[in-house]
Amino acid sequence: MRSMEKPPYTMRVPRKSDPEYYLDQVLPILLRRRVLQLTKFDYRLANDLDDELQKLRCRVNYHALRFTKPIRQLGQRIVMKMQKMANRYIAVHLRFEPDMLAFSGCYFGGGEKERQELGEIRKRWTTLPDLSPDGERKRGKCPLSPHEVGLMLRALGFTNDTYLYVASGEVYGGDETMKPLKDLFPNIYTKEMLAEEELKPFLSFSSRLAAIDYIVCDESNVFVANNNGNMARILAGRSALLMARHEMDWDTFSRKVKACQRGFMGEPDEMKPGRGEFHEYPS
């Protein structure tokens, strides 16, 4: 009787390790055991690498790695449904979950009930500093509410017949919080609305659900995020690398952004080499 196959050897790599760590600690184990499973994936390699390694890293992250076939197929089916309803659609990545709002330390206009509920959730993180909600908002650190996202899109010129795909988890406040956005843009769809039955095998896996959202967001004509999180960074990095939907050169884009933002609270800062995360600035 054949013996059961042994599971692969697992190893946890520290965050933002330099290339030497992989050569000295990881490679010998891989050569000896042939198969090695790294139990953590995000931010396991330092941002500051030489150009050749950075180029390789870009190709691995945005070209070589692929989602599994079931994720790709379902994502593309949802894309086709959106494109069948409208030639163009906007994808909105809406991070407005209770724990995310509590972590931000911001206030969103929900009165004492909101302060108490988010305050209780915030107690889960004992090392978080005390933050001023007004101060965080002035610094531009607060995620936009669904209503604010809608107002921003209308201010940019998108009309109420525009189709929106909303990628989100649990929205704090539920339907009441989403109502102002739906009033501004009635044609709102989610993966749950477009593939309720097909999503059932994925419901216990938040990362797989996020991967499906990523595919639909990546195929959208316009992508909008209410905060600068991993989804926005990865999509921005992929677009920067592949020059997807490139319609203007960088100098023109930079000039237009600076002209629009001049004099407003929270003017943009020029990014310097070595700042920010790799996924957001892959070059």
Q: List pLDDT tens digits, range 231-254.
A: 998 998 888 777 655 667 778 888
Q: Where are the alpha helices (DSSP H) in 105-229?
A: 111-122, 133-138, 146-155, 174-184, 191-194, 206-218
Of 111, 110, 107, nearest to 133 by C-alpha is 107
Span 53-103, pLDDT tens digits: 988 888 888 888 899 999 999 999 999 999 999 999 999 999 999 999 999
Listed in order, the ranges of the chain carrying CATH 3.40.50 are: 69-245
Residue 214 pLDDT > 70, yes or no? Answer: yes
Arch. (CATH architecture) of 69-245 = 3-Layer(aba) Sandwich (3.40)
The Cα–Cα gap between 282 and 201 comes to 33
Residue 121 gets which letter from DSSP?
H
% of the chain beyond a pLDDT of 70: 89
Rounded mean pLDDT of the chain? 88
pLDDT digits (tens, 9 = 90+) for 135-179: 999 888 899 999 999 999 999 899 999 999 999 989 999 999 999
What band does 224 get if pLDDT is binned at 50, 70 and 90? Answer: very high
Confidence of residue 265 (pLDDT cuts 50, 70, 90): low
206, amino acid identity: S
pLDDT band, residue 262 (cuts 50/70/90): confident
Q: Which of 81, 65, 67, 66 is nearest to 198 (CA)?
A: 81
Say what the pLDDT of residue 1 is.
Answer: 43
Contact (CB, 8 A) for 233 and 280: yes
* Phi-psi category of residue 113: left, alpha or beta, with phi > 0 → left and psi -120 to 50 → alpha: alpha
